[in-house]
Amino acid sequence: MTSYIVRRIINLIPTFIVATFIAWLVVEAAPGDFASKFAFDQVDPGRAERIRELLGLNLPWWQRYFVWLSNVVLHFDFGISMTSRSEVTSLVMPRMINSLVLLLPATVLIYVVAIPIGVFSALHKYSVADRVLTVFSLIGLAIPNFFLALLVLAFAVQYFQATGSLLIPTGGMTSQDYAQLSAFGKMLDILWHLIAPVLIVTLSSLAGLTRIMRGQMLEVLGQDYVRTARAKGLEEQVVNYKHALRNAILVIVATIGGTLPSLLLGAGTVEFVMRWPGITPLFIRSIFAQDVYVVMALLTIGVFLLMIGNLLADLSLALVDPRIRY
């Protein structure tokens, strides 16, 4: 196992370089650059060129990539944001923490709820409860999370207009009087603002994982060793939960590899619609502003977390399934 982990870590190095190189090419493929918006300045026609020279954008793209890569690897320096003129690390880290505050409880809820529902649907195949859960799962798969967020906001506004009281916050991470609250009050305020986005992220991802769990459980229940276990007289709970579930859950464990980057790279459009100060709004603004160093920092963190997540998923599979040896 130790030699396998060492080999995988060594293999991460060329994978990381190739992935960041491709990401840099994609970013560079966009027309123009950060200074292009100043190219048509009638008052100061040479302003764009001076900005390119100041930011190093006049250098060849491959040279800028290797300078950036050496700074990241040797000094963990992702550069300076062209928009805010602040360090990219200090700009990204608070946003990552905000996204983690949102996505960590949502991810725990997704797995805690999806696995039992999927197992229940598989054990009660084609029953009324299974059909109802299937309908709700298909609806969850069909509704985009941003549309679900808009529905929640519309409901909150309608409730406020009808009753005069705010059932759930309509956006943001804190209230206007957050600075005057006590430490406990600040925590409660953040938790209150978490209710809506956590439920939206959970519901939007719950349906897919539930269907995967149901399908895997049904596939395992049809295997010969499960029928043999029943024929030997084992109790139904032992067959379902000790033999079938243990093998069906392997696919769910394998999805851990994609969970880690999603935890720290934002909840997508939910953050944007709910005005949650996470990674996604920063990423979108940086793309439109062509702030290449912020965009590359977020893409690089995503690549690194995906590689680490896949390694953790492989090691977790070995712990869950004793048949796997490295």
Q: What is the pLDDT of residue 117?
A: 92
Whole-number Cα distances in Å, 30 to 21, 50, 76, 289, 291:
15, 21, 26, 11, 12
| Mean predicted confidence (pLDDT) in 40-67 | 78
For residue 216, count other CB atoms closer than 10 A to its CB. 21
CA neighbor of 321 nearest in space, from 274, 260, 251, 270? 251
User: Measured between alpha carbons, how far is 178 from 172 in angstroms, rounded to an integer?
Assistant: 12
Instruction: Give the distance from CA 155 to its chain's centroid.
Output: 26
CA 175-170-174 angle, 5° bins: 20
| Helix, strand or coil, per DSSP, at residue 22 | helix
- Give the three-state DSSP class for 44: coil
Q: pTM of the entire structure?
A: 0.82
pLDDT for the residue 82:
86
pLDDT higher than threshold 60 for residue 42 = no
Residue 43: the pLDDT is 52
Region 308-324: what's the mean pLDDT? 76
> Measured between alpha carbons, how far is 58 from 51 in angstroms, rounded to an integer?
9
Would the pLDDT of 147 be above 80?
A: yes
The Cα–Cα gap between 194 and 201 comes to 11
pLDDT band at 144, cuts 50/70/90? confident
Residue 80: phi, psi to the nearest 5?
A: -110, 135
**pLDDT tens per residue across span 84-130:** 888 999 999 999 888 888 888 888 888 899 899 999 999 888 889 98
CB contact at 8 A, 308 and 13: no
Query: Which whole number is the average pLDDT over 206-222?
Result: 87
Residue 214 has pLDDT above 70, yes or no: yes
Residue 207: C-alpha distances to residues 111, 113, 155, 277 (Å): 11, 10, 22, 26
Q: What is the pLDDT of residues 6-38, one digit of tens each?
A: 887 888 888 889 989 998 998 888 887 787 776
**121, 133 in Cβ contact below 8 A?**
yes
Assigned token pair, 8? 């995988």
d(CA 278, CA 270): 10
Is 287 exposed, middle or buried, given 0-12, 13-18 or 19+ CB atoms closer than 10 A? Answer: middle
Is the pLDDT reported for residue 64 higher than 60?
Answer: yes
For the stretch 252-269, what's the b/e string if a residue is b when 16 or more beta carbons lie within 10 angstroms of its beta carbon?
bbeebbebbbbbbbbbbb
